[in-house]
Structure 1
Amino acid sequence: MSTVIEQTVEARLVAAAPRMPSIPATFHYDRRDPFAVRMTFPAPATLEGVEVCWTFARDLLAAGLHEPEGHGDVRVRPYGYDRTVLEFHAPEGTAVVHVRSEQIRRFLSATSELVPAGLEHLQFDLDRDLAELMRDAC
């Protein structure tokens, strides 16, 4: 069974211009880091012209489908019936994107099949991780 889920979504970048361009973005989930989700934006969609990746909690993404969530660098909130807004705050500025809520639900459903919500802690092998830490300390 695969330990990674990737799903491309169509994100609409909210900008000062009247037209909201679509950009491909990718959600990424790895059972080895079961609490986290990554969202990657391709180089052409960024101000610096390099790929940008944001990492945030899977439960933040799930909760943000229903009500505004997040107080830090990443915030998620519903927008109408079929869209979800993701805000990414950085020193350089804020990026706001709209994603179809159904795409997010499909992604979260796939991650839940891999690692059910609430059971993320079972993915850790504490004995192995501790042995690895101790080996590196010697």
Structure 2
Amino acid sequence: MNSFVHKTMVVQLQAGVTDRFPVLAHLSYDAADPFAVTVVFSHDGRVLARWQLDREMLADGLTRPVGIGDVRMRPESRGSWEELRMEFLGDAHPDGGRHHAVVFAWTATLAAFLRETYEVVAPGREEVRVDEFLSDVIAGG
């Protein structure tokens, strides 16, 4: 059985209040880290940002607002389009503000990706290998 899922999709990066432009989102899921989905945003061959998201939070964000920290998500409708609004807060600026990005992704594509991850590791069947984790922590420091 395949333990890895990957999907590349076009998302919309919000620029300013209303303008958007397309960027690629490369989503990956690995059964070795069953709670996480990694998203790499890129444009013209350059990596713009890399985020590791909680898989359950991503799924919940398709139906209701979630997140109170650096990542916040909520569903939005734009006519016949159902989108997931993802807000990312990054490092602080020297002036005290923070880097901030808002990305919109088509809900149906994200839901299809999540269904593929559920075929690899069903929700609630994730395992935490505590002994391996502790060995890695001890070996590293």
Task: Tell me the TM-score normalized by structure 1.
Answer: 0.82
Where does structure 1 lack aligned partners over 5 or more consecutive residues? none
Contact 2:23-2:43 within 8 A present in 1 as well? no
Q: Matches of residues 1-138 of structure 1 in structure 2 within 5 Å?
A: 1-16=1-16, 18-42=18-42, 44=44, 50-80=47-77, 82-91=82-91, 92-121=98-127, 124-126=128-130, 129=132, 132=135, 136=139
Contact 1:43-1:52 within 8 A present in 2 as well? no
Where does structure 2 lack aligned partners over 5 or more consecutive residues? 92-97
What CA distance in whole angstroms lies between the structure 2 residues aligned with 1:115 and 1:102? 20
Cα distance, 1:19 vs structure 2: 3.5
The structure carrying a bigger helix percent of its residues is: 1
Cα distance, 1:50 vs structure 2: 4.1
Q: How many residues align?
A: 131
What CA distance in whole angstroms lies between the structure 2 residues aligned with 1:90 and 1:22? 20
Post-superposition Cα deviations, 1:22-51, rounded to whole Å, max 9, x if no partner, equal 111111100000001111012648xxx645
Q: Structure 2 counterpart of 1:101, which letter?
A: T
What CA distance in whole angstroms lies between the structure 1 residues aligned with 2:87 and 2:138? 41
Task: Tell me the TM-score normalized by structure 2.
Answer: 0.81
Residue 21 of structure 1 aligns to a residue whose secondary structure is strand
Cα distance, 1:54 vs structure 2: 0.1
What CA distance in whole angstroms lies between the structure 1 residues aligned with 2:134 and 2:105? 42
Cα distance, 1:52 vs structure 2: 2.1
Residue identity (%): 31
